[in-house]
Structure 1
Amino acid sequence: MFVKIHMPWDMLCTYAEVLHIKVPIQPNDLSSRPSPWNFLSCITKKFYPDEELISKETEFFTAPFEKDRLEYFYIKDQDMFFTPSMRSRMAFYILSRAPYEIRGKTKKFGITKLLDGGVYKAAYPLHDCRFNVPSKEEGCPNERYLLYQEWAHPKSFYKMQPLDLIRKYYGEKIGIYFAWLGFYTIMLTLAAVVGLGCFIYGYKTQETSTWSKEVCDPDIGGQIVMCPQCDKDCKYWRLNSTCEASKKLCIFDNFGTLVFAVFMSIWVTLFLEFWKRYQAELEYEWDTVEFLEQEEPSRPEYEAKFSNPEKVPYTECGRCMRVSIGIGTVLFWILLILASIVAITVYRLAAFFAFSTRLRNEELEGLEPLKEYVTPQMATSVTASLISFVVIMILNILYERVAIWITDFELPRTKTDYENSLTLKMFLFQFVNYYSSCFYIAFAKGKAVGFPGQPVYLLGKYRNEECDPGGCLIELTTQLSIIMGGKAIWNNIQENVLFRYCKSMPSNSGLPRWEQDYQLQPISKLGLFYEYLEMVIQFGFVTLFVASFPLAPVLALVNNLFEIRVDAWKITTQFRRMVPEKAQHIGAWQPILQGVAILAVATNAMIIAFTSDMIPRLVYYWSFSVYPYGDSDNHTMAGYINSSLSIFNISDFPEQSRPLSSSYNMATCRYRDFRYPPGHYRQYEYNVRYWHVIAAKMAFIIVVEHVVYFTKFILSYVIPDVPYTVKEQIKREKYLTQVILHETNLKLVTKLLLDTEDTQVCLSAFFDHHLFLLTTKY
C-alpha cells in the first residue's frame, strides 16, 4: 500500500513561514558586469548545458516568506512559486514531527521512528518522470530527464554542471557538494599540469643525473661494497645493484620537485580563498546567507528523547560524561591503528631480512632476472604497502559503525551538530588510518639506525630498517601510489557492483511513478557524508605528501572526472529522490581543509629536508665540491656518491651482527651516513659534514615555512572572501525587504488613524511622534 502526501497551498504558506524560507520579491535590477571573456563565448558555450533545454534561472531579490503579506511577493503561478525541493522539505518537516501515539504525558512521533520500527517500509519524495524518457503529462517539468541528459549521461562528461537545476531539484545541500567537487576538480587541472611537467622533467633527466650515473657506473658504484643491512644472514652487496631504483628515484627526487612543492603550497591557498568567494556567490544566489543565523530546528531524535516537558535535558555533567565516553572510544581506536602500524613495521623488518637473504644471494636460482630491478627495500615496501591498504580498509568498515553509535549516544540537538560531531570523529580516525604509514616512512624510517658496528634494535630484537643510499623517498612514493590507486580501484569496484545490480533489475516502465521509485536504491541516512570524506582524504594525499609524488594531482584529477559523473549518474538514475536540505556551506569540512592546507606546508618542507636527498646534495654542491684544478667558483656534483657514504672496518662488527660469510675480499664496507672513518681519533662519530647538513635542513624548513606562510597570509588578505558585487546585491536586497515588507506597518497605522473621528489631531500626534523617534535615533 502506498500513501501519497500532498501539501495544499495554505499549508505550504504556513510552513514556509515557520522554516523562514526565502522567496522572490522582485527581479534583480542590478546590472551584472560583462565578463572580459565574452569574446570566447562561441567556444565556451559548447562546454555548458544546452540553453534550449536548461534555460538560465532569473535572478530575484528575496525575503523570508510571510503569509499575511502575499501581495508583496513575486507570485505568478502558485503551483510553481515554491520549488519542488522547498515543498519536499516542508512535507518531511511535518512528517518527522507528526505524533502517532500519545499515552499520558509521553508522546511518540515522527516518520523516522515508524520506519525504524518497520511500520512503514520507506518514505521518499517522488521523481517527476523517468530519467531516460520525458513525461508526457501536461505541465510536468521533466527536470530529472534534463539532469540525466545534460549532467549524468556519459556523453556530457565534458560539460559544466547545471548547478541551479541541481539545487532546484535536490536542494542546496546536494547542490553545494557538486559545486565544491566541480570547483576542486577545475583547480586540480592547474596542479595536474604543473605536476605532470615536473614528472616529465624528472623522467627526462634520470639518465643524465650525476647521482644515478655514479650509482650505475661499474667503475664507481660497481666498486663500492655496501655493509649488510641486517644481522648475520645478510650479505655484502655492491651499490650498482640499486641502479634501476636510483634512476626511478631521480624521477621524483629532483629540483623540479622542490619548485612543485612550493607551488602546491601556494595553490592550496588560492584554492581555499577562491572557493570562499565562489561559495559566497552561491550563498547569495541560493538564499542561504542567513540560514545558520536563524534558529535551526532540533532533530526529531532529540525531540523524541526530551518530548516530556517535565523531563529536563541532561545536565552539563551528563553531557560531559557522554562526550568523554565518545573521546575515549575514538582514542582507543586510534591506538588500535597505531598498534597495527607497529605490527606492520615488525613485518617490514622481518620481510626485509627474508628478501635480503634471497634477492642478494647470487647463488639463488630463478631470481636472476629480478635482481636488476627489485631490491630488498622495494620488495619490502610493496608488500608492506599492500598489507597496510588491506588493514586500512578493514579498520574503516569496523570504525564506521562505532563512530555512528558514539554520535547517536551523544545525542546532538540539531542535524548540523550531529554531522559536525560525526565528521570530526571520522576524519580523525581516517587521518591516522590513511596517513600514519606515510608519516612513518617519511619521518621515522631510517632516522635511528645507528651504524654497522652499533645498530639500533626495535623491541630489543628487530634491527631497524634502513633506507636506500638515496633515501626513503621512493618508498614513500610507492606507498602513496598503492594507497591512492587501491582506494580508487576499490571505490570503482563498489560502483561497478552497484551498476551491475541495478542493470539486472527488471524493466519497470509500466509501473506507476511511486512504484518505480520504490524499486530504486534507498538513500543512506548520512547522505553525501562518505562522498565528502573520500574527497577530503584525497585532498590530504594531494597536498600533504605531494613533494614525494608529483603525479598525485594527475591521479586525483582523473579520478574526480569520473567521480562527478558517477555520482551524478547514481543520484539521478539509481537512487530514490533525496529529501532536500538547506546548507550554507560545506560545513565542518571547511576548517578541516584549512587545517590540512596549513599542515601541508610543514610536511612538504620536512619531506624535502629529511626524506629526500636534496639538501645533502645542495650542501655538497655549494660547500664541498670544486673542480680538480682548484677553481672554487666552479662546482660540480661529481664525486657526491663517494662522499655521502661513510667507511666501516669489517673487523669492528660485533659478534651478534657479524655476517656469516662474505664473497668479497675487502677490509672495509660503506654505509649511508656522515661519520669519521676508522683510525680517526673520533672514529664513527658524526663529522663536520653531518652538522652542515643538519643546519642546512633546519634553515631550509624555517625559511620555506616562513616564506610560504607569509605568502599565504598576503593572499588571504588581498583576496576578499565575499566579492564586491555580492556585497552590493545583499545591501540592495535588505533595503528592498525593509521598503516592501516593513513599511507596510506604516500604511496600516495610517489607514487606522484615518478611520478615527479626530483625524487631524491623530495625524499630527502620529507624525510628531514619528519625527521624535527619528531625532532620537539619529
Structure 2
Amino acid sequence: MNGSNGEERVVHEVAMVVPKRVLEEEGNCVEFLVTELKKRGMVVDRVVGLADEFLKVAAPLETLGNAAAELHIRKPTRLGIDLPFEMQGSEAFIRQPDGLLFSWFERFRCYQHLIYGIVNCGGYDVTLKLNGRVFCWVAGESLLRRLESEGVIKQMFPLHDEFKRKELLQTWALNWWNFTNQPIDQIYSYFGAKIGVYFSFLGMYTQWLIFPALLGFIVQMVDFGSLQFLALPIFFVSTILWAALFLQFWKRKNAALLASQGYRFLGMEWSSLPFPKELIKNLGNERSKEKEAYQRYEWFAYRKRFRNDVLVIMSIICLQLPFELAYAHIFEIITSDIIKYVLTAIYLLIIQYLTRLGGKVSVKLINREINESVEYRANSLIYKVFGLYFMQTYIGIFYHVLLHRNFMTLRQVLIQRLIISQVFWTLMDGSLPYLKYSYRKYRARTKKKMEDGSSTGKIQIASRVEKEYFKPTYSASIGVELEDGLFDDSLELALQFGMIMMFACAFPLAFALAAVSNVMEIRTNALKLLVTLRRPLPRAAATIGAWLNIWQFLVVMSICTNSVLLVCLYDQEGKWKIEPGLAAILIMEHVLLLLKFGLSRLVPEEPAWVRASRVKNVTQAQDMYCKQLLRSISGELASMTKPEQEQQQQDSGALLT
C-alpha cells in the first residue's frame, strides 16, 4: 500500500487462525495454504501462539490493484466521474484522505477476493494433510472454504495497523482538549464509511447541544420573576426549532460527506436492492408480466413485514406494558431516594434481559421476511427493537406525567435515568470487553500450563496478533448477524435524545448533562474501538440509516409530550378548561408541527456546490462517452471499403426518412 509520501508500506491487515503443526508431513495443508497465498502475490508472516498458529497476511499495492481490477471496483477519478479501476491508469484515480489508493472497505474486499479466490483449477483432486488427518481439495473448490469446513481455518479477522492505531490514539481518543473536534477523515480511512458517518453525526450533535445546554441552564437556575410563566414555553419552542434545524443541517453535512472524495458510497450492487435477482435480470423483457411480478412480490413482502410488526406491538402491549406500569407505581409510592436508585438500577438490568429476548424474537421474525439486502434487514430490526426500548424507557415516565402529574417525581426519574443509564452504558462499553479479553487470556494461559505440566511461572503472550485474537469483536448485543456494534451506540444516543427532548420542560438542565455525557462518549467509544476491541469489519453506508427516521419521530413526539407537560403545569386544578393559556399551548403545538415539516423546505438538504458538482460530473461523463462513441464509429467507417461506406450512408438516410 502506498502512503502519502509515495513509498510502499506493507501492513499485515488480515489474520487467520490455524492449529499448531504437530507432525512433520508432506502435503501439510497449512504449508500448502501459505504457498498458494504467496502465489497470489500476498506476503505471509507466521506467528506461533500459546495454543494456535497465526498467519498474518498483507497485500502489496500491485496485488491489491489487480484484485480491484478483477472486481471492477469503481473509484472517483480526477475527471470527476467514477470509473472501474485499472492498475495501468492508477495515477488518474483520486487517493484517500490518508494518502492510500484504496479505502479500508475496498482493501478488505480485495483481501476476500484474493484469499477466497484460491480455487483448484488443476482438474483433479489434491490430497491435503494436517496432523494425521487426510482430506481432499476437489476440483473447482475454494481452498479456504474447504479448510474452514474441515476446521483448519478457525477464524479470519482484520488486524489493527499499529502505526495508524497509535496515531488515532493521540489525535482522537486521548485528545481531550478538542472536545468535539475529531479527525473524521482518518476515522473513515481506518474504520470505514459507516463508523466514519456515525462519529461525524455524534460530533455534530454534541456541538449543537451547546446552545440548548446554555439555554436550559439559564431557565433552570435563573428566576425571571413575573415572567417566569413564559420561560418554559420559550424554551420549549427554542428546543423544537433547534432539533428540526439540527436534523436538517445534518442532512446537508451528510450530503457534503457523500460528495467528497473520501465518502463515496461503495458496495451498492444488485445484492443491495430489495428485489430478487431473477426479476432484475429479466428487467424489460416482457413489460406487463414484469410489472405484475414486481407488484405481487412487493405486496407479499409488505404483508409479511406488517404481520411481524403487529406481533411485536401486541407483545409490547400484553407483556411489557404491565411490567412498566408496575415499576412506575412502585417508584411513586417509595419515599426513600436511595431505594429509588436501587429500584431503577434493578429495573434497567431486567429490561436489558427482556429486550435482548425480544431482539432474538425479532431476528427470527425478520428471517421470515423478504429482505434481500442486509441493510433492509438491519433497518427492520432497528425499528422493532427500538419499539421495545421506547416502551421500556418512556412508559413509566408517561405514567408520572398523565396520571399523577407530579413534576418533582418526574424530575427525579429523569435525573436517575440519565445518570444510571450513562453509568450503565459506560460500564458496558469499557468494562465488559476488557473482562472478556482478560478471561480469554486467562483460559489460554491455564490451558498452556496444563499441557506443559508446569505450575510455576507466568506465561507471557508476546505476539500482537494473539492479543488481537483474544479481544472481542465489535458486535451488537442483539442480532449479531444483522448489525455491528454501532447498533448499541446509536440506540444509546437515540434514547438520550428522546429523554432530553420529550421532557424538556420538566428538566431543562438535561441538555447540559447530555452535552457532557457525549463529550465523554466520543472518547470512550474511541478507546473501545482502538484498544479493547478487534478492528471492525468495514461496512458501506451513505447515512445513519433508519436512525434518522427515529430521530425525526422523536422530535414530533417531543412536540406532543411537552405540550401536555405545559398543560399539566398551568392547569394545576386539573379541570382541563380551554382557557386562553391552554388554547395558546394547543395553537403553539400545531404551529410547531407545521414549522417542523416546513423547515425541510426552507433549508435545502444538499449544499449548492454538491448539486453543481453532480451536474458537472454527469456532463463530463456524457461528453467522454460521446467522444468514445464517435471514435469507435469513425474507426469502423475507416476500416470499411468505399462501397460499404456508401451502403452505410444509404441505410442511415432511409432510417431518417
Q: Given the two structures, how large is their TM-score scaled by the length of structure 2?
A: 0.71
In the other structure, the counterpart of 2:27 is none
What amino acid sits opposite 1:189 in the alignment? Answer: I
Query: Which of 470, 486, 490 is 2:424 aligned to?
Result: 490
Q: Contact (CA 8 Å) 1:89, 1:581: kept in 2 or not?
A: no
499 and 582 in structure 1: CA distance in 2 versus 1, 3 angstrom threshold = closer
CA contact under 8 A between 2:208 and 2:246: conserved in structure 1?
Answer: yes
Distance in 2 (alpha carbons) for counterparts of 1:96 and 1:417? 26
Residue 471 of structure 2 is matched in structure 1 by 520
* Structure 2 SS opposite 1:722: coil
**Which deviates more, 410-419 or 591-600?**
410-419
Q: 1:114 to 1:324 in 2, by over 3 A?
A: farther
Question: 1:328 deviation in Å?
Answer: 1.6
Residue deviations 1:302-355 (CA, integer Å, cap 9, x gap): 99xxxxxxxx9x987698568635642553144321010232355357x46xx6
Cα RMSD (Å) of the superposition? 4.5
Q: CA deviation at 1:595?
A: 1.1
Confirm or deny: 8 A CA contact 1:298 1:414 kept in the other structure.
yes
Work out whether 1:257 is the aligned partner of 2:232. yes
Mark the CA change 1:187 to 1:17 in structure 2 (over 3 Å): closer, same or farther: farther
2:583 to 674, 696, 699: 699
The corresponding residue for 2:47 is none
Identify which of 26, 31, 37 aligns with 2:78. Answer: 26
Aligned AA for 1:520?
K
Aligned residue number for residue 354 of structure 2: 395
Unaligned residue ranges in structure 1 (runs of 5+):
28-60, 130-141, 211-252, 304-311, 356-373, 446-470, 617-672, 675-689
Deviations 1:145-165 (A, max 9, x none): 322221122445536211112
Q: What corresponds to 1:654 in structure 2?
A: none
1:727 is aligned to 611
Whether the aligned pair in 1 keeps the contact of 2:75 and 2:83 (CA below 8 Å) is yes
Aligned to 2:593: 709
Tell me what 1:201 maps to.
222
Distance 1:171 1:117, change over 3 A: farther
For the 8 Å contact 1:277–1:721, the answer to whether it is kept is yes
- Give distance in 1, aligned partners of 2:147 and 2:232: 57
| Identity level (%) | 25
Q: What do residues 224-256 of structure 1 show as CA deviations (whole Å, max 9, x unaligned)?
A: xxxxxxxxxxxxxxxxxxxxxxxxxxxxx8542
Larger Rg: 1
Give the Cα–Cα distance (whole angstroms) in 2 for the partners of residues 195 and 188 of structure 1.
Answer: 10
Q: TM-score, normalised by structure 1?
A: 0.61
1:183 aligns with 2:197: no
Shift of 1:19: 6.7
Is the contact made by 1:95 and 1:111 (CA closer than 8 Å) also made in structure 2? yes
Structure 2 counterparts to residues 648-667 of structure 1, below 5 A: none
The number of residue pairs the alignment matches comes to 544
For the Cα contact (< 8 Å) 1:12–1:87, is it kept in 2?
yes
**Aligned partner of 2:209: which letter?**
L
Aligned AA for 2:319? L
Distance in structure 1 (CA, Å) of the matches to 2:94 and 2:235: 54
Shift in alpha-carbon separation, 1:159–1:327, aligned structure 2, 3 A: closer
Instruction: Select the residue among 101, 105, 128 that pairs with 2:161.
Output: 128
Cross-structure match for 1:279: 254
Q: Distance in 2 between matches of 1:515 and 1:606?
A: 57
Contact 1:480–1:541 (Cα < 8 Å) also in 2:
yes
User: Could you tell me how far apart the structure 1 residues matched to 2:626 and 2:91 are?
Assistant: 11
Q: Distance in 2 between matches of 1:111 and 1:532?
A: 35
C-alpha change, 1:713 and 1:407, in structure 2 (3 Å) is: closer
Mark the CA change 1:757 to 1:287 in structure 2 (over 3 Å): closer, same or farther: farther
How far residue 118 of structure 1 moved from its aligned partner, in angstroms, is: 6.1
Q: Which residue of 2 aligns with 1:347?
A: 330
Q: Does 1:749 align with 2:611?
A: no
Contact 1:753 1:762 in 2 (8 A): no
Q: CA deviation at 1:418?
A: 1.3
| Residue of structure 2 in register with 1:566 after alignment | 524
2:439 is equivalent to residue 418 of structure 1: no
Q: Distance in 2 between the 1:98 and 1:418 partners?
A: 31
Equivalents in 2 of 1:99, 1:320: separation in Å? 42
Local SS of the residue matching 1:743: helix
- Does the aligned pair in 1 maintain the 2:103–2:189 contact within 8 Å? yes
With 114-123 and 278-287 compared, the bigger mean Cα shift is at: 114-123
Structure 1 198/730 Cα, relative in aligned 2: closer, same or farther at 3 Å?
same
| CA displacement, residues 179-224 of structure 1 (integer Å, 9 cap, x when unaligned) | 111111111111111111111115xx7xx799xxxxxxxxxxxxxx
Point out where structure 2 has 5 or more consecutive residues left out of the alignment: 1-17, 19-53, 126-135, 278-292, 443-457
The answer to whether the 8 Å contact 1:323/1:410 transfers is no
> 1:588: Cα distance to partner?
0.7
1:266 equivalent to 2:287? Answer no
8 Å Cα contact 2:256/2:607 also seen in 1: yes
| Cα gap change, 1:574 to 1:772, in 2 (>3 Å) | farther
Q: Does 1:164 align with 2:171?
A: no
Distance 2:627 2:109 in 1: 30
Partners of 2:201 and 2:94 lie apart in 1 by 32
Separation in structure 2 between the aligned mates of residue 758 and residue 411 of structure 1, nearest angstrom: 59
Contact 1:545/1:603 (<8 A) preserved? yes
1:585 counterpart (526, 539, 543): 543
Structure 1 residue 70: Cα displacement: 4.3
**Aligned CA distance change for structure 1 residues 711 and 765 (closer, same or farther; 3 Å):** same
